Structures are given as structure tokens and as C-alpha cells.
Amino acid sequence: MPIDITQQSLSGIRDAIASRAVTAAAVVERYLNRIAALDGAVGAFNEVLTQRAMRRAELVDNGELRGPLAGVPIAIKDNICTSFGKTTCSSKILGDYRSPFNATVIDRLERAGAIIIGKTNLDEFAMGSSCENSGFAPTRNPWDTDRVPGGSSGGSAAAVAADLCAGALGSDTGGSIRQPAAFCGVVGLKPTYGRVSRYGLVAYGSSLDQIGPITRTVADAAAMLNVIAGHDPLDSTCADEITGGPVPDFNMGLGTPVENLRIGVAQQYMSDSNDPAVNDAVSSAIERFEKMGATIVVVDLPHTEYGVPCYYIVATAEASSNLARFDGVHYGHRTARPNDLIDLYSASRAEGFGDEVKRRIMLGTYALSSGYYDAYYLKAQKVRRLIKRDFDNAFNQCDAIICPPAPAPAFRLGANTADPLQMYMADVYTVNANLAGIPGMTMPAGFTEVDGRRLPLGLQLLGPTFSEHKLLRIGAMFERETDYTSQRPVLSPASAG
């Protein structure tokens, strides 16, 4: 029986197309058919770009379109601007918005020959940890469709896990790539702040946001990062060679173990309040690294507990500022019959934004208001510096820190929607990397059985700024010792009905 091309890695699909073992058109058609059959059960896509994807596949087959990702179907989180299709941020306020330009990462993917197959669902404006805050409909976890895929890049992670695309882009403001990747059993990489251009990413928290890949394997993440990383003059926060050094070939040396590897373990992340299966998966990974010759070093991150409150002041303050532009005047949803200008603004925003977005705008506006700026926002920035110092001190002792990406596996749909604080705690082990600006990667680390269903468990690796190449090599070491990345959820057209 011939191998189903959708069961191959991104790199395998790329190589099969390059060798003409299969046509790009056949690959894209196979993925489109799979989306049509299965996405009803998952809800990963807001929009599928069928005709455009097939046209570009034909260009690959004709030799008119070449590049390191030629013919590979890629999904894009719907808060990344594309001049084709819609860019909605899964919000009613941008329900029909069409961007006049591409984000830099989109131009780079298309120059590399990638086929953008569709735009994926997310928590509205990337504000959420479960993909239940979408203004349209929730996305479901392919491993158990009664559970969340994580958020906010839940659509991208679910699409990769369900083999509805070969790879995807997400954005990570407080864990929005890493946590859903862990919940869905795939690889998710948040690069160092500034490694990848944010131009064309609809801003949530400008000092925290970063675009990164979600893929089936570590090598696939490296292949996508090779294409999207690097300086961009359109983004003043994007690192150049002076600040970030030359961008390496992230695929180089992936098959070679890191010599004299030192793995840091912070007890603050191995809390007794975690689901026991989560701690067991991380402990098992630590043992594997020890058997591979790594030295395990205990490190201290004393300000870990302040990460969530610090994040929800900094991020909401920036959101309050960034989302002020959605006012019913410039673009997006406008209320039908306003009484006056003030009513136009307030009614348009009240109708267009969901409850979680409104909550975060109000929190951020309060934190920035007169009399409270010093007490909240300024203090949060000071705590942020302490968190960054904790990581700097830890990385003087180790090459990477190993920890859980979340305190528990994927939870049931609706389980935390009535308790925002409980939902926020799903990001307790991811937000600090964004506050510190360091890279982080999650990858499959095992499974646990809950209510008779098999759910993925993840492993998170954190490294110093601009250490993505080493993180990928460390991740590849672990990946070679396990078979977790090859395991897939069972979905059928019948379940999509």
C-alpha cells in the first residue's frame, strides 16, 4: 500500500516533491481533501484557500516556483496579515477585513515556495489559552474532540496534529505556540524576541509577541525557522547581525549531539500542584538526557510565581493601547445606527469585541490610568527585569532549562471558561519566557490516559537569547530517543459529521 503523503514530515514532503516522486498539485489536493473530510470535527481553519493553493502548486510543478519549501502546504494563524483571503484575528470586529499587504513572514514563505493552504482559528486577538475565545467557534483537540487544543494558536496546532497541513505559523505572546503544541502532541518553537519579524502580525502585546513555527518534528521547525528568521527593516524591533549575530542554518548539526550538555532543572516548575503525569514526563525526559551524557544542574528561578500577575499587567496594558485603533471608524465593524461619535466608538467596540478581549482592555486601561501607573505597570516592568535576571543567572550554569509547558494535559471544553484566573494559570510555565525575551520550544514527551482517552504530554526547553540552534539540537537528541512525534490521533470522516 502506498504511503499517505500527509503522514510524512514537512521535510519528507519537500523532498518527495523535489525528487518528483509526487507532484505539488497532488500533495495540495490530498491535504484539501483531508481538510474537507476531517476539519468539521476539529474546526482548525477559519478559511481554506483552495483555488489559490492549487494555482501555486501548479507553478511548483511547472518549475516556475522554487525554493527550500517548494510545494509544502502551510497553514497561517489568522492574526498574521495576508493580502489574499481574510485576516480576522477570529474577531467579529474584523470579520470581513482584507489586508492590503503581506506580513514579512508570508512573503518569505512564499518566496521559499511554500503553499499557504488556509488561515487558522485562534482565541480572539490571541487572547486566550484554549481557543474557546474565538469570535466564530472553538477549535477542538484532535486527540479528544471534547477537549481544548490550547491557545491562542489552537487552530494551527490542531491542524498540524490532525495532518491538515505540513506545518503552520503561530504567534506566542505568553505561551500561545508552546502550550497548544504540547496539548496537541506536536513541536512548537517561540524564537527569541526579535529573531523573526513581527511586521504584519496584528499586535496584542508588542514587547512580548513573536511569530514561530508549529510542526510535526524538530527538523521541520528548523526548516521553517530558516525561512522566516532574520532582520527586517520594516520591524524596528527585529534583530540585526549586531544585536542577534548572523542567523545560522538551523538544520545544520541537528543529527549531532551537543557535547558537554548541561540541562537545568528549576524546582519552581516541578510543582506538586502539577498533574502527576506532567511531572513524570519531565522526570523521564531528564533521565533520558542523563543517559545521553548530559549533566543535570539544579537552578533557581525565584521570581517564577510573579510571572502570571506581571504578564497580565504588561500584556493587557499593551493590548489596551494596541486595540484602541479598532474604533468603528478606520476599518472593521461599525455599529449600524450610532447616536453620536461617542456612541459610534463604544457601540462598535461593544458589538465587535468578545468578553475576554473586553476584560483585557479594561484591565490594561486601569493599569495605565492616572494614579495607578506606578503601582501596577511600572512595578510590573521592574518585576519583569527580575525575571530576566533569574534566567541570566541560571544560564550561567546550564545550556538549557527543562520544564513542563503546562501544569496539566488538555482540559475539557468549557472547564475553565467561567473562571478566568484558572484559565490564566494554564500559562504559568510559559509567560516568563516572553517577559524575558528568551526562546522556548515544546515537543512531545509522552502520553497519559484520562477518561479513557489518550492525551499528549509535552516537554519545554528554554534557552538564552538567540540560542534557537542549540535548543533545536537538544530537542533533536530527545526526539531520536523516542517515537512520540510519529504517533497521531485517530480521526475519521464519520467523526466529522
Catalytic positions, written as ranges:
77, 152, 176
- For the CA atoms of 154, 87, 323, 231, the dihedral, rounded to the nearest 10 degrees, stands at 80
Tell me how far apart the alpha carbons of residues 137 and 42 are, in angstroms, rounded to a whole number: 10
Tell me how far apart the alpha carbons of residues 392 and 465 are, in angstroms, rounded to a whole number: 9
Tell me how far apart the alpha carbons of residues 169 and 177 are, in angstroms, rounded to a whole number: 9
Tell me how far apart the alpha carbons of residues 25 and 354 are, in angstroms, rounded to a whole number: 39
* 403 bridge partner residues: 460
Which residue shows C-alpha cell 502539577? 274
Tell me how far apart the alpha carbons of residues 394 and 412 are, in angstroms, rounded to a whole number: 35
Tell me how far apart the alpha carbons of residues 373 and 370 are, in angstroms, rounded to a whole number: 6
116-134 in b/e burial notation, b at 16+ Cβ within 10 A? bbbbbbbbbbbbbbbbbbb
Cβ(233)–Cβ(453) below 8 Å: no
Cβ(181)–Cβ(437) below 8 Å: no
The sign one gets for the Cα dihedral 430, 199, 39, 68 is negative
